[in-house]
Chains A and B, each alone.
Chain A
Amino acid sequence: MIAIDIVVLDYGLGNANSVVSFLKSLGCHAIASSDPKQIESAKALFIPGVGAFNSGMAKLEEQNLIPVLQTFRDSGALVVGVCLGMQMFAQSSHENGNTEGLGWIPGEVCHLQSLDADVNQGERRIPHIGWNRVSWHQGCEWRHVIDGDMFYFNHSYYFRCDETYVLAQVPGNQEQRLANIPCAVRKDNVVGFQFHPEKSQLAGKKLIVQLLDEYQIERKPLCLNHP
């Protein structure tokens, strides 16, 4: 039996299958699971998510997964949240009423409308769906590999937090009076992406490879030249 390096959390809400198939295409040993033993023995945990915040947290609670996730995070191993998976790192969310989150990265999840309204009264098309450019923080180590690349987004809510945790943002536009959307956050071993790396073709692969290498997780070599 091949040792499993990455567990993609299958908690009944989310596209665990596409994340596993993406990680396998990078040559990783990944499975979808919610078995505490398998999670415990993994080198990295991916928390995917297609869903509403309150139903996501309810699923985690129903399956008693929160203590398991907590222990995993405390071990210092890599935790990657995607979309809803990332939003659940927050302390709370305003989606469908107020719901408490995991509280791993100080911040709250708010509707995109409030972002533009607070900053400069712009109006954008919500949900924010499709391919958009992402600008990375100057201090981000993998900036040179993916800066200016397009990533795939599909969300109506965003992670509002202190800028010290923001790794990347979708640049706003003064003329359209649209604010920057924070779209990647990190606190130590907890990393979250608002966009879907597993759906972002080469850019997604280049990004995840940076993280896997930082945590020395086995993968096959990736051809990084642009076509």
Chain B
Amino acid sequence: MPESPLGDEKVPEFTAESERSSAEPSKRLIGKILVNGSLAVQSKHFNQYLPLGKPRIIAAYLDQWGVDEILIVDRCARGADTHIDPALIASVVETCRAPLTVGGGIKKVEHALALVKAGADRVAINSGAIDHPLLMKQLANTLGEQAVVALVDVMQVAGEYRVYDYRENKILGTNVVDWCEQLQGYGVGEFVINAVNRDGEGKGYELPVYQKLRDVLKVPLIASGGYGEPKHISDVLHRGVDGVAIGNSLHYSEHSMSTIKAKLARQDIRQAGIAYESEQIGHFGRLLKLDDETLAHMLYQKREKCWL
């Protein structure tokens, strides 16, 4: 083996890591928060929405429950100069420590810079890339490829996976594999592939599309749309994805994330995870609710639930 100052011969200077099997990062569990303006919503096939509450409260809970990352997307920011509000992200960052990827109507580098300044670690682009693919190149040049995420909606038509434009509920002529390869060439650092007809169904991920994409994509690949139970995660992770995004199902049970992680750890799929502050753990090892003062500060209020 060639000599190098960073080669394996010099490792004894550092603590041995005998129990490690992989040098790659842990598979990621990403909490997805869909927003409509200032309100978090639950969605079904992206055409029915149920209000959930303030995004910052949901983000703070997901963070406490041990999420690896949070993806916040506004699918309603559609106008020429509307994009997800940086003030919303700044308010989320006050109480949420988890890494944030933010998307929704980003059409210019300046939009992305404003979001990063507000606290986003990465930006996610969907329709902005459909209208102007070279935007991805400009973003990668300014923010670095690690901060540029492509969010791609897919639908299956006659055995082929095609790009779907959520703004007009229209299936485009573009093959998803070709599209992702093109964007990868522009410096996109990660793909979140969202199977539209699986959204809100809870019946598992669209496995074949991830298999096809894994063969051509060198950058991280995240599966989205269809989560219902932990088994669905192991199924799609076996297709080689680097993480999964979970939306709706996280919102209705406390500690949802911790439960999923524990189940995956038992199957040796990922390490149980990251240490959170012990102040958040109460008697019987139960995670604590945010204190009333924090909730009051966030203007927490219960909302009546009804389909919009």
By a beta-carbon cutoff of 8 Å, the part of chain A in contact with chain B is 10, 12-18, 21-22, 25, 50-53, 55, 84, 95-96, 115, 118-120, 124-133, 135-138, 143, 147-150, 152-157, 162-163, 168-174, 176, 178-180, 182, 196, 198-203, 205, 223, 225-227
How many residue-residue contacts, CB under 8 A, span A and B?
208
B275 to A138, Cβ gap below 8 A? Answer: no
Distance to closest chain A CB from B6 (angstroms): 5
Q: Is B146 an interface residue (CB 8 A)?
A: yes
B277 to A95, Cβ gap below 8 A? Answer: no
Which residues 43-73 of B sit at the A interface, judged by CB distance below 8 A? 68-69
Which residues 246-283 of B sit at the A interface, judged by CB distance below 8 A? 271, 273-281
The chain A residue sitting closest to B63, CB to CB, is: A201
Residues of A within 8 A of B11 (CB): 171, 180
Which residues 205-252 of B sit at the A interface, judged by CB distance below 8 A? 218-220, 242-243
Residues of A within 8 A of B90 (CB): 17
Q: Is B190 an interface residue (CB 8 A)?
A: yes
B273 to A150, Cβ gap below 8 A? Answer: yes
A180 vs B20: C-alpha distance when bound (angstroms)? 13
Q: Is B8 an interface residue (CB 8 A)?
A: yes
A138 vs B7: C-alpha distance when bound (angstroms)? 17
Which residues 22-44 of B sit at the A interface, judged by CB distance below 8 A? 22-28
Given contacts A169-B14, A199-B98, contact A12 B145 (CB under 8 A): no
A180 vs B11: C-alpha distance when bound (angstroms)? 9
B121 to A50, Cβ gap below 8 A? Answer: yes
A50 to B278, Cβ gap below 8 A? Answer: no
A84 to B144, Cβ gap below 8 A? Answer: yes
B219 to A21, Cβ gap below 8 A? Answer: no
A201 to B97, Cβ gap below 8 A? Answer: yes
Distance to closest chain B CB from A208 (angstroms): 12
A130 vs B268: C-alpha distance when bound (angstroms)? 18
Contact partner of B26 (CB less than 8 A), chosen from A130, A143, A168, A223, is A130
Residues of A within 8 A of B273 (CB): 131, 150
Q: Is B93 an interface residue (CB 8 A)?
A: yes
Flag the segment in B74-82, B111-119, B124-132, B166-174 that touches A: B111-119
A120 to B278, Cβ gap below 8 A? Answer: no
The chain B residue sitting closest to A125, CB to CB, is: B220
Q: Is B292 an interface residue (CB 8 A)?
A: no
Q: Is B159 an interface residue (CB 8 A)?
A: no
Q: How many residues of B contact A (CB 8 A)?
A: 66
Contact partner of A176 (CB less than 8 A), chosen from B22, B145, B285, is B22
The chain B residue sitting closest to A204, CB to CB, is: B97
A154 to B99, Cβ gap below 8 A? Answer: yes
A155 vs B25: C-alpha distance when bound (angstroms)? 12
Q: Is B196 an interface residue (CB 8 A)?
A: no
The chain A residue sitting closest to B142, CB to CB, is: A55
Contact partner of B6 (CB less than 8 A), chosen from A130, A149, A169, is A169
Residues of A within 8 A of B13 (CB): 137-138, 163
A153 to B25, Cβ gap below 8 A? Answer: yes
Given contacts A55-B141, A149-B275, A227-B275, contact A174 B8 (CB under 8 A): yes
The chain A residue sitting closest to B30, CB to CB, is: A130
- Listed from nearest, the 9 A-B pairs whose CB atoms lie closest are A130-B25, A173-B23, A127-B146, A178-B23, A132-B25, A202-B275, A52-B144, A17-B119, A135-B14
A115 to B6, Cβ gap below 8 A? Answer: yes
Q: Is B106 an interface residue (CB 8 A)?
A: no
Which residues 2-20 of B sit at the A interface, judged by CB distance below 8 A? 2, 4-8, 10-11, 13-17, 20
A14 to B278, Cβ gap below 8 A? Answer: no
A38 vs B262: C-alpha distance when bound (angstroms)? 46
